A and B are shown apart, each in its own frame.
Chain A
Amino acid sequence: MKNKSQNKTNDSRRDFLKSSALLGAGAIAGGGILSSCSTEPESNGEKVKLLTATGELVEVDPSQIKKIRKEKLSELAERGREGLVGHHWTMVIDLSKCKNARKCMAACQGAHELLPYQHHINVLQMQDSRSTSPYYMPKPCYHCDNPPCTKVCPVNATFKRKDGIVLIDNERCIGCRFCVAACPYSARIFQWFEPDYTEEERNRIYDVELNVPQKRGTISKCLFSADRLRKGQLPYCVSACPNGVYWFGDKLEDAVTNGTTKETRKFSELIKENAGYTYFEDLGTKPQVYYLPPKNRTFDYEPVKKFLDEDEYPADRS
């Protein structure tokens, strides 16, 4: 009996934490950072900023705010599944610019709380043939227009949104890994162990557009930084690149912006002028990540080791 009531208070406190965290997320949606998730409203005359469904920022008294029940939180999942209607996101990767700085990988792993060997974006060392020089190739998820991964998902945990982004809902995923088997581009990873979180971190509200917190026994993958796009910002990897490798934009607007120089160009022209291509077009997956060939490079290619040493990642065997 005692235990039961204790559980109940625990639950309600967790609900409260979660709902207040949602409030916080709403409050900072205008321009804040997601990390300040647990600001609690206090009724001392201060106003709380809220983003309405129509996109207006309003101030209300904290006492006016009703506690949101847990089920309602699925609204975050709902908008995450719908996507930013009216866009079709695309990425162009200029292989002639990539110097293997790996700032993209670091930014991505930081934002999505990944381990050193878990890659949403992975910079590979490639060489097409013996007579051509090697080059570096960043490889995110290609957000295919005909995605083989979403087809095979038995529970609709991974899905393609109206804006072209392929996402994973790790609160739905059953961990069968069929999508890993189905993806020909090795774009998906699996959480083989419990992510190293504190209790508080683990109980954060799950945002399907950030896929954080990561969950054991579920899939994780590149999200084209859907949370940043919602805020009108470029993806984490694109913004982090110091070498002007990435262009990101909207195919429907036919415009892409360089993450380093902030220059905006016509997508179709950029592809046409530089003979842009996608990988393994014969598979019919229609990737939405384009590559510009590694031509006229003015820097040296320095090979780096292809595997991580044991001291570079936390032990994954026990």
Chain B
Amino acid sequence: MSATSTSKSKSGHKTLEQIREDLIRPLYHNTFWNQVWIRFLILIIVLGALAYGHQLIKGLGLTAMRDYSAWGMYISNFVFWVAVSLIGSLISAILKLLNQNWSNPLSRISELIALGAITMAGASIVIDMGRPDRVLNIPMHGRIQSPIVWDFFVVNTYLVISVILLYLPLIPDIAILRDRMTDVPKWQQKIYKALALGWQGTQEQWRLLKKSIKIMIILILPVAFSIHTVTSWLFAVTLRTGWHSTIFGPYFVAGAFVAGSAAVIIAMYVFQKRQKLQDYITDYHFDKMNKLLVITLLVYLYFNINEYLVPGYTWERLDGQHLQELFLGHEAPLFWLTQIFGMVLPILLLLLKPMRKPLPSLVISIFVLFGAWIKRFIIVIPTQFHPQFPIQNVPEHFTHYIPTYTEIAVSMATLAMALLIITLLVRIFPVVPIWEEAHDRGIYKIFKAEKK
């Protein structure tokens, strides 16, 4: 079974030399556009940092958040980043444990996305704090009853595990780079030498590595599910209509796999084109990834029907107010935009084979990912405008929420930061695992120390 899928996913015969050549070549290509791209990201980050500095000095009042919308864009960003980060565990852990070898060339992409996303999830929470100078109060005075404390520890744990899960399968590749890339700057050689941990490819080293990877992909699963379930509980444990829902945990996890799969498809397209990896990330992989996206979308659709139909049927006082706003009121354009363009249409389109080709699936995935962000916005904000008591004796603009330039600049900076982390890492590490690619093609002798 796995043998057929492996052979299907590999186009053409490649020798070890060709694989190494193909996957290392992009590390030498520091093109003009690459330089422009990195400078562009840095510019966005600098602008965001200035906006954040301004916010630090003036207070969170620079955002559009007020007393009846105490959580805004920053918290929806946080939920979005946590969601995207789960893809690392889906592809590297769940699919591996299910022996779905076709996803091997995509595992590093998904781990890179996971690392960028979870870092920015942590940053988003600190950005949203009124007193970021007191962040250490959480470990110092932490109360175990508070889901924020759970989130604090789970996010940090997931960050550590994500780094380890990215690093472990990198070790043999770094050893290859250490041995082959002797013509790059000294600092880069030093990085390879240090990070390779003296890897020689001995039997004992392989045994330890494979065992460690296995342990990590099992360990990451409960943490991955916890992190997004706990994130959903930030909302579900409140007495608020639209949040106080028992299915929020699985609903959020399902949505997370949707967002992450879309992010991976976009990244696959970019790397395939930029690094000329057509022989490694093939139409077959796009087809498979898009089928995975459809499955996650269908599960998510099922949760959406539960989440909206049941309260929509009973139409209890506040549920009615809330859903009226979502279905027909002020929030309706955004709501239907994300539900139709981010969920229903992608499901229908991706059932057609031509739509699972690289370019169409790139477009669809951009819609799905953007829809996923809007969906978090729709979950976080409108609910707060339907409290038990009417909103009175405050300025009228307290009754709606439109993000300010400060929020948009800071949010864009987190996006740019995540992209920069990924961009810089793929400048020095191969985006497709070299040794796994060789193993999948039946080549087992990669290092001198190896037998055969």
- Measured CB to CB, the residues of A under 8 A from B are 105, 117-119, 122-126, 139, 148, 151-157, 172-178, 180-182, 184-186, 188-194, 216-218, 279-280, 283, 285, 306-308, 310, 313, 316-318
A186: chain B residues at CB < 8 Å are 67-68, 387-389, 391
The reply to whether A178 and B59 contact each other, CB–CB distance below 8 Å, is: no
The reply to whether B70 and A117 contact each other, CB–CB distance below 8 Å, is: no
The reply to whether B143 and A181 contact each other, CB–CB distance below 8 Å, is: no
Q: A172-B141, A192-B65, A306-B393 are in contact. List 20 more A-B contacts (CB 8 A).
A: A124-B389, A151-B145, A152-B146, A154-B137, A154-B142, A154-B148, A155-B140, A155-B143, A156-B141, A175-B60, A177-B71, A185-B389, A192-B59, A192-B66, A218-B131, A283-B239, A285-B239, A313-B395, A316-B61, A316-B395
- Determine the residue in chain B with the shortest Cβ distance to A149: B238
Q: Does B320 contact A (CB under 8 A)?
A: no
What would 13 A/B residue contacts be, using CB atoms closer than 8 Å? A117-B393, A124-B389, A124-B390, A125-B392, A152-B145, A157-B141, A174-B131, A181-B70, A190-B67, A306-B393, A307-B396, A308-B395, A317-B397
The reply to whether B148 and A308 contact each other, CB–CB distance below 8 Å, is: no
The reply to whether B393 and A184 contact each other, CB–CB distance below 8 Å, is: no
A178: chain B residues at CB < 8 Å are 146-148, 234
CA distance A178 to B141 in the complex (A): 16
The reply to whether B237 and A182 contact each other, CB–CB distance below 8 Å, is: yes
CA distance A123 to B396 in the complex (A): 16
Q: Does B398 contact A (CB under 8 A)?
A: yes
- Given known contacts A156-B143, A177-B130, A216-B130, A190 and B70 CB-to-CB distance under 8 angstroms: yes
Residue from B59, B68, B393 with most neighbouring chain A CB atoms (10 Å): B393
A154: chain B residues at CB < 8 Å are 137-138, 142-143, 146, 148-149, 152
- Given known contacts A155-B141, A217-B60, A313-B395, A180 and B70 CB-to-CB distance under 8 angstroms: yes
CA distance A317 to B405 in the complex (A): 12
Q: Does B129 contact A (CB under 8 A)?
A: yes
Q: Could you tell me which residues of chain B, from 374 to 396, have a CB within 8 Å of some CB in chain A?
A: 384, 387-396
CA distance A126 to B389 in the complex (A): 9
Q: How far is the CB of A100 from chain B (nearest CB, A)?
A: 11
B131: chain A residues at CB < 8 Å are 173-175, 217-218
B60: chain A residues at CB < 8 Å are 175, 190, 192, 217
B235: chain A residues at CB < 8 Å are 181
A185: chain B residues at CB < 8 Å are 387-389
The reply to whether B58 and A193 contact each other, CB–CB distance below 8 Å, is: yes
Contact bitstring B139-165, A, C-beta under 8 A = 1, else 0: 011110111110010000000000000
Q: Which of B62, B134, B147, B384 contacts A174 (CB 8 A)?
A: B134
CA distance A313 to B397 in the complex (A): 13
- Given known contacts A154-B148, A181-B384, A279-B388, A189 and B67 CB-to-CB distance under 8 angstroms: yes
Residue from A152, A155, A216, A307 with most neighbouring chain B CB atoms (10 Å): A155
Q: Does B287 contact A (CB under 8 A)?
A: no
The reply to whether A124 and B392 contact each other, CB–CB distance below 8 Å, is: yes
The reply to whether B237 and A307 contact each other, CB–CB distance below 8 Å, is: no
- Determine the residue in chain B with the shortest Cβ distance to A169: B141
- Determine the residue in chain A with the shortest Cβ distance to B54: A318
A306: chain B residues at CB < 8 Å are 390, 392-393
Q: How far is the CB of A123 from chain B (nearest CB, A)?
A: 7
Residue from B392, B395, B396 with most neighbouring chain A CB atoms (10 Å): B392
The reply to whether B238 and A181 contact each other, CB–CB distance below 8 Å, is: yes
- Determine the residue in chain B with the shortest Cβ distance to A153: B146
Q: Does B425 contact A (CB under 8 A)?
A: no
A193: chain B residues at CB < 8 Å are 58-59, 61
Contact bitstring B49-74, A, C-beta under 8 A = 1, else 0: 00000000011111101111011000
Q: Does B325 contact A (CB under 8 A)?
A: no
The reply to whether B59 and A194 contact each other, CB–CB distance below 8 Å, is: yes
Q: Does B240 contact A (CB under 8 A)?
A: yes
B143: chain A residues at CB < 8 Å are 153-156
CA distance A61 to B394 in the complex (A): 51
The reply to whether B395 and A318 contact each other, CB–CB distance below 8 Å, is: no
- Given known contacts A182-B239, A318-B62, A117 and B395 CB-to-CB distance under 8 angstroms: yes
The reply to whether A175 and B393 contact each other, CB–CB distance below 8 Å, is: no
A126: chain B residues at CB < 8 Å are 390
- Given known contacts A186-B387, A218-B131, A117 and B239 CB-to-CB distance under 8 angstroms: no
Q: Which of B59, B70, B389 contacts A177 (CB 8 A)?
A: B70
CA distance A123 to B66 in the complex (A): 19
Q: How far is the CB of A75 from chain B (nearest CB, A)?
A: 18
Q: Could you tell me which residues of chain B, from 229 to 249, have a CB within 8 Å of some CB in chain A?
A: 234-235, 237-240, 243
